[in-house]
Amino acid sequence: MHPTTLSTLAQRVRRGLPALLIAATALMGTWLSPASAADRTLDTAFGPVTVKSADRVITLDEGALDTALALGVQPVGSVAARGGTELPNYLQPHAKGVSIVGTTREPNLEAILSQRPDLILAPVGLEKRVYDILSKMAPTVVPNVSATAPWRERNALFAEALGKTEEMNARTAKVEERIASLKERIEPGQTFSVVRWNPQGPMAMSSKLITGQILTALGLRSTELAAGLEDRPHSDILSLENLGSVDADWMFIATLNQQGEATLAAARRQPAFNRLNAVRNERAVTVDGQVWSSGTGVLAAEKILDDIEGILLK
């Protein structure tokens, strides 16, 4: 049987044959019963959601998966990394038996339902039509923040849904302590840019994403382009001739897959790329795009700090 994607499910619903939703009602009784003292009612992007259990968790967002694993929760299912078919590489050592249930953009609804979830942790900006389907399967938690909110705030609701706010606060406090310690050892005022290199070309990542937040907290300064993106997570694709807008003392180049790596390899042979100050000074460094341009959780923050310490303080 072919996986049920959102588009095919929408066609079923329009024909009056919401087969998957009918099947999902078999699960609803486990969480529509009257609330108990142990239940948690959360303020989400789609209103109050009551969580009764977190035994069978589905994560549809890299940050949600990161948060769950950091707090010792093994989801029964999660989405593949952006640009890939498996879980993010940096999270695989922490994950045991986590099934792939589609991608961030196209969750596999039949696969999600088959896992009998009692809690779904969904990404910021989830469409209402998708939420309406998922919420019939299990309480679905969508943070009511922007995509560029501080990473601690973005993942706080996931930790609360899991009943592990105190543990999350302790993990983030350790990250803050490490940032303060590293800041004393890094030359202040250096500029930086984070560039995701796609098969179509490069794009500047916003300085308000987790990597930019950490680098700024360490005393570095973003390029004007990255700082001016406001709530946009990244710029449009840049031509090689416009790469000067992302040139900086340090350029961190992130790729998500082999196609992006091939495009970057081709760019390295172009004069426009090699004229960049970061390239000429050997400060254009390749980093893991699944962490640097897609990660949002505490495990991503710890990995980014590992990388920064190895690159800037070697």
The mean of the pLDDT values for the chain is 88
Closest by Cα among 150, 163, 7, 142 to 71: 163
Higher pLDDT, 256 or 13: 256
pLDDT at 298: 96
- Taking the CA atoms of 186, 91, 294 and 120 in sequence, report the sign of the dihedral they define: negative
Mean of pLDDT values over 181-190 = 96
pLDDT given at position 38: 67
Domains 6-163 and 186-312 share a fold: yes
Q: What is the mean pLDDT of residues 221-241?
A: 92
Residue 34 has pLDDT above 50, yes or no: no
Q: What is the average pLDDT across 126-134?
A: 94
- Residue 21, pLDDT above cutoff 60: no
By the 8 A CB rule, do 87 and 95 touch? Answer: yes
Work out the pLDDT band at 105, boundaries 50, 70, 90: confident
Rounded Cα distance between 2 and 157, Å, is: 33
Q: 122 or 83: whose pLDDT is higher?
A: 122
pLDDT exceeds 70 at position 26: no
Report whether pLDDT(104) > 90. Answer: no
Spatial contact of 30 and 130, defined as CB atoms under 8 Å apart: no
Q: Token pair 């840019």 is at which residue?
A: 193
Residue 8 pLDDT exceeds 70: no
Higher-pLDDT residue of 25 and 219 is 219
Where is pLDDT greater, at 55 or 261? 55
Tell me what percent of the residues of the chain surpass a pLDDT of 90.
69
Where are the domains positioned within the chain?
6-163, 186-312
Tokens of 89: 């590489």
Cβ atoms of 197 and 238 closer than 8 Å: no
Contacts of 21 (CB under 8 A, 6+ apart): 13, 133, 136
Backbone angles phi, psi at 137, to 5 degrees: -90, -40
Instruction: Kindly report the CATH number that applies to the domain delimited by 186-312.
Output: 3.40.50.1980
Quote helix, strand, coil % in the chain, to nearest 5. Answer: 40, 20, 40
Does the pLDDT at position 258 exceed 50? Answer: yes
CATH code at 6-163: 3.40.50.1980
Token pair, residue 286, equals: 């390749």
19-28, 142-151, 203-212, 236-245: least confidently modelled range: 19-28
Whole-angstrom Cα distance, residue 262 to residue 110?
34
* pTM of the predicted structure, to 2 decimals: 0.87
> What is d(CA 314, CA 311) in angstroms, rounded to the nearest whole number?
6
170 φ, ψ to 5°? -65, -40
Do 199 and 297 meet the contact criterion of CB atoms below 8 Å apart? no
**Cβ atoms of residues 78 and 98 within 8 Å:** yes
Residue 78 and residue 101 in contact, taking contact as beta carbons nearer than 8 Å: yes
Q: Give me the numbers of helices (H) and strands (E) for the chain, helices first please.
A: 14, 12
Mean pLDDT of 140-166: 93
